[in-house]
Each structure stands twice: as structure tokens, then as C-alpha cells.
Structure 1
Amino acid sequence: MLKIEHVNKSFTDLKAVVDESWELDAGQILGLIGQNGAGKSTTFKLILNFLTLDSGSITLNGEKINSQTMNEIGFLPEERGLYPDVKVGEQILYFAELHGRSRKEIRSKMQDWMDLFDVQGKLTDKVKKLSKGNQQKVQLITALIHEPKLIILDEPFSGLDPVNAQVLLDIIVAQKQKGAAIIYSSHDMNNVSAIADKVIMLNRGHVVLNGRTADVRQSFGRTKIYLESPLTQQQLLDIKGVTSITARAGGLEVSLADPKVGEEIFYLATKNGYITAFDQQPPTLDEIFRMKIGEDAIIEAASEGSTHD
């Protein structure tokens, strides 16, 4: 559906995007992650034609994105853009009209979307009357109500409490089930792990990770163990291949140099019988994120590639 091929974009001496290539199919969710300044927002703006490519190509269903195909895209910018003195309903209608939808068509759907997002406010309220969180929900409605085939959400969870973040996660998954392709950026790796089919990690404009979320994690090996057993920290540190131990509520998190060390730990922990917990997992996306930030990760990506499709 969406295809980015060898895209480059610079601003004077700053290389914002460097040879970026990836694809996203209909019915898939992509988590785009990276530090501030990594190139996430620039990538979104290039897809939306807000910026002009230096080189490369971006296509939607095999065609360059133009004013007509823009009607099939929903976009939530990081910089929110509602008008504080305009009524909620009027703003939703206005943004839908920009995407080629009629007022009659959208007016019949507005209250359902307000209910879906549990917006604490009325369509006749001015935006400035709503809380910041409810304003965020209205902005999300403007990005989704025209039922786009490609949805781009730049930091959609910013300003939402955990309950409302879960509401948004559920809505994103529902849009996927309807066949939409969805890209979103987030600093919260838990949100990415929860629903993203694929993950792209950018580092100073370079793609340093690209693949299915589970495959990316598995590629780093099952080097983390959560353990609840009679073994002490010192006993675990005495095992060759244990690199560090962190106390967690009720147990220990053990980091390994080699996943195979987990077998020895399991044997020692269970030799006297039942234990309450042994869970060997690959690093979290948050841990991988920290590993892949830095010049070394860029060099590695350029020389070896990092695709896990």
C-alpha cells in the first residue's frame, strides 16, 4: 500500500532522512520510533507532501500521493491545530470537508465518534471549554471521521492518561480490522509493543531497525529472565554468563550474555521443586531502543542492514 524507497531529505547541512526505505500494507500497524530529531516528523511530512523529497520516491497503491489521494489519508500532527473559539461540531465538519466528505454524511456520525472517544463535552461547545485531554480526543476524531485508508498519527498518546490511551489503542486496532494502514510515532515503547505489527527505528535520519515487532525483539535473543525462586543475587552472579541483576517487586530480573545460560538458571532454581516464576524473554523495545541509539548503530545499519521481514 505505502512504499518508501531510498528517500533522502536535508536541510542545509542537516541530513534529516538518509536513504529511508520500507513498506506498509493495508491492515497493518507500524510503530515509528526514535529520539527527538531522529526524522519521524520529517518522514510524515514527506509522505503528506508538506516537504519535497531531495531524492527517492513515496507511493500509495503504486501512485504518487496527490491532492486526490490525500482525501484517503488521516493525519494527526504533533502540533495540535484546533481553533479554540470554534464549536467542536463545526471543526469536525470543516476538517471532513477538507477531505472531500459532505456535511450531511459526517453530521450523522459525529455524536457516535464523540461517544466512542468518551469526549466530556458537547458538539456545541467551543473547543476552549474542553479540557486538554478532551481537545486531544476531538483532534483525533478530525483525523479519523472520514474513514481514511492510511492513518498517520504523530505522538497520538501525548497528553492522554492511561485509561484514555487504552481507548485510543482499541480504536487504532479497530481501524486496522477495517483494513486501514496505520503509522504512529510514540515515545512509549509499551504502546508500540502492544499493537504494532511492524517497527521502524530511526537514528539521526537512518533506519537502524526495520521488521516485524516480534522478530525484531527475538533477533536480540532471549537474554532477560524474570525469576522468583530461593536463589540469591550472589548465587546468580556466580553463574558464568549472568551480566547483571536488578531487584523487581517480588523477584529478580537477570540479564544474560547468552540465552543458553537460562537453562542452567532454570535447573538450579527448580532443583528443589516448584518456583513461582521463571520467564525468559528477549529485550523489551525500550531496552533495544537504548542499544540502538548512537553512531555505532548507524554504522552497523549502513554496513550490514537491519531488516527482519
Structure 2
Amino acid sequence: MLEVSHLSKRFGSIQALDSLSLTVGDNELVGFVGANGAGKSTTMRIIMGVLAADAGTVTWRGTTLDADARRRIGYMPEERGLYPKMKVGEQLTYLARLHGVEASSARRASDEWTERLGIEERRGDDVQKLSLGNQQRVQLAAALVGSPELLILDEPFSGLDPVAVDVMSEVLRERAEAGVPTLFSSHQLDIVEHLCDRVAIVRSGRLVAEGTTESLQAGAEPRWRAVIDVAGSPDAAQEAARAVLAGVPGLDVSGAPSETGTRLTLVAGGPDEQRLLRAAENLGRLRELGPVRRPLAEVFREALAAPADLTITTEQEA
């Protein structure tokens, strides 16, 4: 497990990090999100030893990170850290060697990752001749060629087309399933929502929301949605539903004509979905039942608008 504990960092009058703590467990993909200047890159640079923290600690598997441990981390900075006039294949082999990989294995890793990321035909090109998207693929390959135990990626999806996003997402999920956890930052919340096991939202250097993607989307007060086919007109069906569910908090009822009468949609609060399930059994034929999941973008906006001293956390799933 990567554990960041109470990191603080000040640049002059700016408090970049304010006692920030987060963890990345084994096999996890953790999305690290926040507005520009929130402290994401500063946190990653401290993890990698590029910056020194004013206070706090960073440990990997219970041991304080040192230079040797950081050689086993695959790091992708937001600013591309590649040699622009060096050829792609040679550069990746060189970077793998810096991570302690034997020469023949380094060349093999360079070939494997350029092929996996769809840039095998560009191995003989200087990096500066590549498109921004292909440079981003090379940067990810650079983070992977050393067979890292942990990945720290700052905006890995920036500038990628949809096909490249799919390829990179697949690679990160495969690495996590193989036991290589990942902490990555991104402003593309749809990717974070789709890909991550957990999400940490930071504002002004403080963690303001943290939890599994599902639990953050569900919110502190769960809401449930049921879709039911019922006989009769929409007005009559809605009136019957309100009578059956009288007193249920946050009840919202809507209906539209269907081939068999009315398709009724019910949304309500409560600790579980059982009351909606009983209502469905009384009203008609249940077609859908499940929790209401808010878009992660809505959770993000809510977290940034919350009072400065409020941190939203949810229980981690086992």
C-alpha cells in the first residue's frame, strides 16, 4: 500500500498542501482529481522525491520511500519528461536500464510496450517528430518499461484520442489486476468514473471527498430508482404510487404512456430499496430497480462547493 500521511507544503504565501492524506491499496486504481492548482502535481512530486514536504510522510508497503524504492515506481509527469531528439526505441531502452533492467530485457520491454500502445512503427523516430498524442503514449511506455511495482501518473489521458484512451485504460486496468496499483490525476471525470476503484478529490491542498466511485455517486443519503409497468393512465398510476409510498422521503414520481398502460418511474430515499420493491409488487410489473448514481462531475462540483472544514468520506468496499 502507498500511504501519504498529513503532507504539507508551502510556496511563499501559498499553502499548496494542507495536511493531505490518502492511500492506494494493492490492485487499486485511484483517481486523484481537483481544480487546477489544487495540489495534485505537488503531491505526486513529493511522492517521487522531486519536491520535499514541509511536513508529513510517504510510505510504500510500510517503509519510507527512498531513492532505491522510487526506482521501482513508474512515474509519468504532467510535463513530458522525454528527450526530444532521442529516438523512441532507444530512449525507452535507456530508461528501462536506469530502472535496473538488464540490457536484453530492456530492449524487449521497449518493443513490447511500443507495440502494446500502438507506436511500434515510430520506434525509429525522434520524440519531437511525434504528435502530442503519440508523445503521451511514449511517456506511458516510459513509465512501464522498468516493470514498476507502483504507477504514479499525472494527467496520463491528456491529448489522447478516444481509441488511445481505450488502450491506455485497458493497460492500467491490466496492470492493477496484475498487482501494480496506480494513482493518477485527470480532469476527464468520465474516464475516472469509468476506470477507478476509488476517487480522492482535493481542494486547496486538502482532501475534501474520498471513497469508492459507487459510494461517492450514491451520496451520504442513498436514493433508489424503480421502473414499473402498470395498467391505467399516467395520472392514475402516479396517484396510486403516491398513496402506496406516502411518507417516503424524497419521493419523486413520473409516468409516461406505454403499450400496456403506463411506465412509472419512482425515485425515493431510504436505507435500502425494500420499500420500493414492495410498492412495485403492489403496483405492477417491475422492470428496473437499483441505486441512483450521480455523475462524478456532480459529486466533484458538490465537493468543491462544500464548506472548507467538511471532508466527505465513505466506507471502502472490501
TM category, shorter: 0.7 to 0.9
1:247-258 to 2 correspondence within 5 Å? Answer: none
Superimposed CA distance per residue, residues 262-300 of structure 1 (whole angstroms, 9 cap, x where no aligned partner): 4x336x777933479978623211011111214x43222
Which structure 1 residue ranges, 5 or more long, are not aligned?
Answer: 240-257
Superimposed CA distance per residue, residues 76-115 of structure 1 (whole angstroms, 9 cap, x where no aligned partner): 1100122221111111012112212122211123222111
Give percent identity, aligned residues only: 33
Give how far 1:224 is off: 9.4
**Which whole-Å CA distance do the structure 1 matches of 2:57 and 2:66 have between them?**
13
Superimposed CA distance per residue, residues 180-238 of structure 1 (whole angstroms, 9 cap, x where no aligned partner): 110011111111111211110001111001111111111255669799x9979xx9xxx
What is the TM-score of this pair, normalised by structure 1? 0.82
**Corresponding residue pairs, total:** 281
1:228-307 to 2 correspondence within 5 Å? Answer: 260-262=250-252, 264-265=253-254, 272-274=261-263, 281-294=292-305, 296-301=306-311, 306-307=313-314
**Which whole-Å CA distance do the structure 1 matches of 2:139 and 2:77 have between them?**
9
Amino acid at match of 2:98: L
**Which whole-Å CA distance do the structure 2 matches of 1:46 and 1:55 have between them?**
11
Checking the alignment, whether the CA contact within 8 Å between 2:216 and 2:299 is kept in structure 1 is: no
Checking the alignment, whether the CA contact within 8 Å between 2:48 and 2:70 is kept in structure 1 is: yes
Name the residue aligned to 1:244: none
**Which whole-Å CA distance do the structure 1 matches of 2:102 and 2:249 have between them?**
57
Amino acid at match of 1:300: L
Q: Let me know the Cα RMSD of the aligned residues.
A: 3.0
What is the TM-score of this pair, normalised by structure 2? 0.79
**Which whole-Å CA distance do the structure 2 matches of 1:107 and 1:179 have between them?**
23
Name the residue aligned to 1:308: 315
Amino acid at match of 2:313: S
Name the residue aligned to 2:145: 145
SS in 1 for 2:19: strand
Checking the alignment, whether the CA contact within 8 Å between 2:83 and 2:127 is kept in structure 1 is: yes
- CA gap of 1:42–1:259, structure 2 versus 1, over 3 A, is farther
Checking the alignment, whether the CA contact within 8 Å between 1:76 and 1:154 is kept in structure 2 is: yes
In the alignment, does 2:73 pair up with 1:73? yes
Superimposed CA distance per residue, residues 133-162 of structure 1 (whole angstroms, 9 cap, x where no aligned partner): 112111110101112111011000001011
Which entry has the higher C-alpha Rg, 1 or 2? Answer: 2
Farther-moved stretch of structure 1 (80-89 vs 29-38): 80-89
- CA gap of 1:231–1:121, structure 2 versus 1, over 3 A, is farther
**Which whole-Å CA distance do the structure 1 matches of 2:38 and 2:218 have between them?**
24
- CA gap of 1:269–1:48, structure 2 versus 1, over 3 A, is farther
Give how far 1:307 is off: 4.4
Amino acid at match of 1:291: E
**Which whole-Å CA distance do the structure 1 matches of 2:191 and 2:53 have between them?**
30
Checking the alignment, whether the CA contact within 8 Å between 1:120 and 1:130 is kept in structure 2 is: no
SS in 2 for 1:142: helix
Name the residue aligned to 1:191: 191
SS in 1 for 2:184: strand
Farther-moved stretch of structure 1 (39-48 vs 117-126): 117-126
Amino acid at match of 1:210: E
Superimposed CA distance per residue, residues 117-144 of structure 1 (whole angstroms, 9 cap, x where no aligned partner): 1116332222223222112111110101
**Which whole-Å CA distance do the structure 2 matches of 1:108 and 1:146 have between them?**
11
1:158-177 to 2 correspondence within 5 Å? Answer: 158-177=158-177
1:1-309 to 2 correspondence within 5 Å? Answer: 1-119=1-119, 121-221=121-221, 260-262=250-252, 264-265=253-254, 272-274=261-263, 281-294=292-305, 296-301=306-311, 306-309=313-316
- CA gap of 1:110–1:120, structure 2 versus 1, over 3 A, is closer
Checking the alignment, whether the CA contact within 8 Å between 1:221 and 1:259 is kept in structure 2 is: no
Checking the alignment, whether the CA contact within 8 Å between 1:222 and 1:283 is kept in structure 2 is: no
